[in-house]
Amino acid sequence: MTQAPAAKPPGPTPRNSLEPLFRPRSIAIVGASTDPTNMGLHWLETLTSFQFPGPFYPVNPGFSEIAGLRCYPRLVDIPGPVDYVISCIPASLVPNLIEECIQKEVKLLHLFTGRMAESGEKDRIKMEARIGEQARRGGLRLLGPNCMGLYYPAQNISYSPGFPREAGTVGCFSQSGSITNEIVDKASPRGARFSKVISFGNALDINECDLLEHFAQDPETKVIAIYIEGVKDGRRFLQLLKETTPKKPVLIHKGGHSGAGARAASSHTASLAGDEQIWEALLRQTGAVPAYNADDLADLIIAFLFLPPPRGRRAAVIGGPGGASVQAADDCDLAGLVMPSLSPEIQRQLQEIAPQTAFLLRNPVDTSALSNRTAFPKIVKTVAEWDGIDLLIGLTPDLNRPRDPTSHLENLTHFLELHQHVPNKPMVIVVSSANDGEEWRWRNISEKVARSSAAGIPVYPHVSRAARALSQFCRYHEFLASRNAE
Amino acid sequence: MTQAPAAKPPGPTPRNSLEPLFRPRSIAIVGASTDPTNMGLHWLETLTSFQFPGPFYPVNPGFSEIAGLRCYPRLVDIPGPVDYVISCIPASLVPNLIEECIQKEVKLLHLFTGRMAESGEKDRIKMEARIGEQARRGGLRLLGPNCMGLYYPAQNISYSPGFPREAGTVGCFSQSGSITNEIVDKASPRGARFSKVISFGNALDINECDLLEHFAQDPETKVIAIYIEGVKDGRRFLQLLKETTPKKPVLIHKGGHSGAGARAASSHTASLAGDEQIWEALLRQTGAVPAYNADDLADLIIAFLFLPPPRGRRAAVIGGPGGASVQAADDCDLAGLVMPSLSPEIQRQLQEIAPQTAFLLRNPVDTSALSNRTAFPKIVKTVAEWDGIDLLIGLTPDLNRPRDPTSHLENLTHFLELHQHVPNKPMVIVVSSANDGEEWRWRNISEKVARSSAAGIPVYPHVSRAARALSQFCRYHEFLASRNAE
């Protein structure tokens, strides 16, 4: 770092040692109850289902037992040490809890508690500031307020029972719990697994800079995905981005671009959303990869997670019928990929393989009229191995009835085989979505997505999304190359 | 019409009487076989499953029976009259078939047969022209070549066994069979039903002008949806669009914008795709509604089918959590909708209904922190009935586990109720997609989509798509209003 942190004086815990905070031996959930809509109960159940190995304690003076666990009236009544506390109590009770946390030598207090600065009310803005100061003086680190906290599968910690149990290499931090859910829910069925996901809300203490620094250094994390609404310390964030992107890709979705979006960001996480133009310029400078929404972020995550570095942005699209091929070409063009015509030599080879329908085997390569289906793998291989293309987009046609005589897995199987032969050429597969259709259709789609993901091939529901992700993926590698050329 | 058709001399059948061609008493499928991949067999099975009432005949000299039906060696061997013929034979055999059709007084020959002009081969381009001339001289109308033909549910005719049996009011014509499938498959689970769908391929005889004129006059059709790659007679098409849009919305997806896309359009349907800028300007002049792809077209179809005319483009978004609300505001802004702040009076009313979380009840209206869920319908009603908004976008939150204690249908149920109370305010519902997730999730989503569709409310998988469709819907009504003001 060439520039010292500016905004906040360093607390007693050094800035770059968040990791111990996220590996608690024990957890207390303050404000848990037996009410089925109580979020404290939700955490107890989720820790149980994730088999968190250390003890975890409900705390509430109104109960002696919750979900089969002994409930303590106050945090300080818990006999053993407590490293991590989740607060589900109203904001007005938090100052007292902080005193108890300090007394109990708690390392991290996660404030699910909201209705603080984001309420826009003056006294609550002041209260949030006072709470921050109180914790800082006592050496207590805070996550939040107004957030879902920690998902750390390797430590058996989660705030959602639906998240995968297995750990992976995507590190994610987000100011929104619901968008974090979207990211995990949309990336994990396509093969992404996470090192650690942190929902950090209003960022009163631990903020986007701390988290970026943490993930930059985290050996478990290879790809960093971020959702933020505001940046507390723009200069430090910029500097950290510059330092991080040459080592790890940093994918960022920034919320609150529009006037109404900025107003919503203010009441959501008390963030000053800032100007879109400035933000875009900032990202461009640093080599960070911009995402437009959670779908886009999930699309980028799987590209950066699975694909080998590209040699360029020349793409071939293979396997669709005519109309889909026209659309695919338009989509690739719009995303900034290049669709080269096949060379005379490659055309000659394809003519030999399928003389009747060779006129359809351009780029995109429309294979729908092949009468001899054994030609398909030969065509795919010929195009994929040609050094005139850098990227491969494989289309898998939809079915139009439950059991199609031309097996719905035919194209996919050949693409998976091909992936073994040309592992160093980035390849993605398109399996179009039909989430609101009939069950047999959903089952076919699920099977194709599961197989591709298991083979480590990124899957997209539409060529437009595949092309956009590939283009950003190429842009990042162009950025790396230009840096190395300097 | 102020301008006479220019390109083609009128044939013996008057131009504007396509309807009798699409109501055949009997159908012959020439080139059917028992091979399970044979498309003729596919048509026989599909007509059977659609219970086409008239006789239909397989024709093939190599078989005496196919799919339980007597097979005739030649078309002319069929004893009764044949109105409609589907050709699945190679292009070289078509001239002879045309002679037989003329002899048999067939009204419409649908050429599924491809590899004609789209092959780019000189002799085949000439052959296609000769075939067109031969049919014209004999008074035989042609659909295609190189297309899937007719889906006309009210006449029990379909080329896909998966299409809905029930008829509706969306008329669709498309140069691509696969994109037609996409349109029907993506719009019908969301409640759209079709008067007639026509895949017309290379448009050798019946072309986009004939079809637009047909659907403009068709009393069964209220919304017209089009996919085209090229226009044979631009001046006539422009004139027809101008005449049609004041009476019925015309939604158009044009393929082949990019260089590679135009090349693909050429080998797909022998179309000259033309310049995107000219095309966009043309659409703008005529009041036609542009769509970017099949998803977009499906999104527009359900908006135009279900929504009452809007008073303006001021939108309210209700029902999401914080992050989703920020995203929704950004999406609406990008699409060109206006997100007004709630008036002081409406804010006062919401403050009364939910004093604790009123700071979240802006626009978007974030209802995720409501502790008292009975407040939800009151909030929705207050905002929906406010005359400061013209459009309502209802969000239905995702579940994060199979059985959520807060019922996954809660928001939806209140939106459906509200729809009864304010039927004249356009309302759409967002049910986010999870097509590649777990089965319980897919079931929840399907249920929400089915309920909304049954209630006649358009459903979208993302706010961005809802906002884009609404914005185009508003633009069309702004076009109508500006015309009436002239």
Q: What is the pLDDT of residues B433-472, one digit of tens each?
A: 765 667 888 888 888 999 999 999 999 999 999 999 999 9
As to burial, measured by CB atoms within 10 angstroms (0-12 exposed, 13-18 middle, 19+ buried), residue A180 is buried
CA dist A150 and A20 (Å) reads 13
Q: Is residue A446 part of a domain?
A: yes
Q: pLDDT by residue (tens digit) across B218-277?
A: 999 999 999 999 888 888 999 999 999 999 999 999 998 888 888 888 888 877 666 677
- Which of A435, A443, A449 should we substitute to test contact with B (largest number of B Cβ atoms within 10 Å)? A435
pLDDT at A12 over 90: no
User: Which of A:439-458 have CB within 8 Å of B?
Assistant: 442, 445-446, 449-450
| Confidence at residue A283, expressed as pLDDT on a 0 to 100 scale | 82
Whether a cis peptide bond, with omega within 30° of 0, leads into A364 is yes
Q: Is residue A238 part of a domain?
A: yes
More confident residue, B412 or B152: B152
CA dist B301 and B195 (Å) reads 13
Element (H, E) at B66: strand B65-66
Q: Is residue A6 part of a domain?
A: no
| Statement to judge: residues B44 and B102 lie in one domain | yes
- State the Rg of chain B over Cα: 25
pLDDT at A171 over 50: yes
| Confidence at residue A37, expressed as pLDDT on a 0 to 100 scale | 84
pLDDT at A5 over 60: no
| Statement to judge: residues B129 and B165 lie in one domain | no
| Confidence at residue B300, expressed as pLDDT on a 0 to 100 scale | 98
Percent pLDDT > 70 in chain A is 93
Say whether residue B245 is in contact with chain A using an 8 A CB cutoff: no
| Statement to judge: residues A187 and A205 lie in one domain | yes
What's chain B's length in residues?
Answer: 486
| Confidence at residue B142, expressed as pLDDT on a 0 to 100 scale | 98
Q: How far is CA A464 from CA B74, B132, B246, B254, B363, in A?
A: 46, 37, 32, 15, 30
Q: In the predicted model, what is the mean pLDDT of chain A?
A: 91
Residue A36 belongs to domain spanning: 19-143
Q: Is residue A10 part of a domain?
A: no
| Confidence at residue A13, expressed as pLDDT on a 0 to 100 scale | 44
Q: Which of B143, B162, B185 is the last residue of a domain?
A: B143
| Statement to judge: residues A73 and A111 lie in one domain | yes
Percent pLDDT > 70 in chain B is 93
Contacts of A192 in chain B (CB under 8 A): none
Measured between CA atoms, how close is B302 to chain A, in angstroms? 14
Say whether residue B295 is in contact with chain A using an 8 A CB cutoff: yes
pLDDT at B65 over 90: yes
Q: Is residue A4 part of a domain?
A: no
Say which CATH number the domain at A241 has: 3.40.50.261
| Statement to judge: residues A50 and A94 lie in one domain | yes
Q: In the predicted model, what is the mean pLDDT of chain B?
A: 91
Q: Is residue B13 part of a domain?
A: no
Q: Is residue A11 part of a domain?
A: no
| Statement to judge: residues B156 and B115 lie in one domain | no
**CB-CB: which of B174, B185, B333 is closest to A261?**
B333
Write b or e for each residue in A193-216: b if 16 or more Cβ atoms lie within 10 A of its Cβ, otherwise e: bbbbbbbbbbbbbbbbbbbbbbbb
pLDDT at B476 over 90: yes
Measured between CA atoms, how close is A83 to chain B, in angstroms? 27
pTM for the model stands at 0.93
| Confidence at residue A272, expressed as pLDDT on a 0 to 100 scale | 67
| Statement to judge: residues B165 and B139 lie in one domain | no
Q: Which of A88, A122, A143 is the last residue of a domain?
A: A143
| Statement to judge: residues A29 and A167 lie in one domain | no
| Confidence at residue B14, expressed as pLDDT on a 0 to 100 scale | 45
| Cβ-defined contact of A325 to B268 (cutoff 8 Å) | yes
As to burial, measured by CB atoms within 10 angstroms (0-12 exposed, 13-18 middle, 19+ buried), residue B176 is buried
- pLDDT band for B403, please (50, 70, 90 cuts): low
Say whether residue A161 is in contact with chain B using an 8 A CB cutoff: yes
Contacts of A90 in chain B (CB under 8 A): none
| Statement to judge: residues A196 and A175 lie in one domain | yes
Q: Nearest residue on chain A to B357, judged by CA atoms?
A: A115
Measured between CA atoms, how close is B405 to chain A, in angstroms? 7
Contacts of A406 in chain B (CB under 8 A): 37
Contacts of B190 in chain A (CB under 8 A): 436
- Tell me which amino acid residue B384 is: A
| Cβ-defined contact of B322 to A186 (cutoff 8 Å) | no
| Statement to judge: residues B254 and B285 lie in one domain | yes
**CB-CB: which of A268, A334, A362 is closest to B264?**
A362
Considering its fold, how many domains does chain B have in total? 3
Residue at token pair 């770059």? A16
Say which CATH number the domain at B93 has: 3.40.50.720
Give this complex's ipTM.
0.91
Q: pLDDT by residue (tens digit) across B142-199?
A: 999 999 999 999 999 999 988 999 999 999 999 999 999 999 999 999 999 999 999 9
| Confidence at residue A51, expressed as pLDDT on a 0 to 100 scale | 98
Contact criterion met (CB below 8 Å) for B478 and B471? no
- pLDDT band for A189, please (50, 70, 90 cuts): very high
| Cβ-defined contact of B359 to A267 (cutoff 8 Å) | yes
| Statement to judge: residues A321 and A373 lie in one domain | yes
Strand order in the sheet with B250-254: B149-151, B194-199, B167-174, B223-228, B250-254, B289-291
Say whether residue A191 is in contact with chain B using an 8 A CB cutoff: no
Q: Is residue A358 part of a domain?
A: yes
The residue-averaged pLDDT of B94-100 equals 98
More confident residue, A288 or B36: A288
Q: Which of A143, A172, A200 is the last residue of a domain?
A: A143
| Statement to judge: residues B161 and B301 lie in one domain | yes
Q: pLDDT by residue (tens digit) across A26-80?
A: 999 999 999 988 999 999 999 999 999 999 999 999 999 999 999 999 999 999 9
